[in-house]
Copies of this chain bind each other. A is one copy, B any other.
Amino acid sequence: MVTLDQAQRAITAGVKAAQGMGVKVSICVVDARGDLLAAARMDGARYFTLDVARGKAMVSATFAQPSANYAERAGSPVMQSLNQLNGGRFFFAQGAVPVAHGGNHDGAIGVSGATAQQDEEIAKAAAAALG
């Protein structure tokens, strides 16, 4: 299980990575069930970025894979049905990576606000800080 301390450390690292790139993003940490543990929207990031980051993290947590792996199948009926089963909150796009401790799938970190590629890099920087 990811602790709140770890989640906040991850967010701090993600914000730092985003600042280094000169971008403004939202960062969300979810548990293995896809439920939100911690979230932050950087000053100037658009209002919708936080829920997009959460939706990417839900996809990543659900499949224990980077959300990018599912971006091309986003329009598929299977993914649409899965989204519907989860209240329409999924977001099938690059920018979230799973988090694992000692082989256990522990959740995911999702980012939104920059390019999809940058979002994923920031998510990885955040995940690396999780320890």
Which residues of A line the B interface, CB within 8 A?
A: 1, 3-4, 7-8, 15, 31, 33-43, 46-48, 50-52, 55, 62, 64, 71, 74-93
Per a CB cutoff under 8 Å, which of B7, B31, B71, B81 touches A83? Answer: B81
This chain: copies in complex: 4
User: Given A8-B40, A74-B78, A77-B74, does the pair A35, B50 have CB atoms closer than 8 Å?
Assistant: yes
Query: Contact between B89 and A4 (Cβ–Cβ < 8 Å)?
Result: no
Q: How far is the CA of A38 from the CA of B52 in the complex (A)?
A: 14
Query: Contact between B41 and A4 (Cβ–Cβ < 8 Å)?
Result: yes
On chain B, the residues within 8 Å of A36 by CB distance are 39, 41, 50-51
Query: Contact between A82 and B42 (Cβ–Cβ < 8 Å)?
Result: no
Chain B nearest Cβ from A42, distance in angstroms: 6
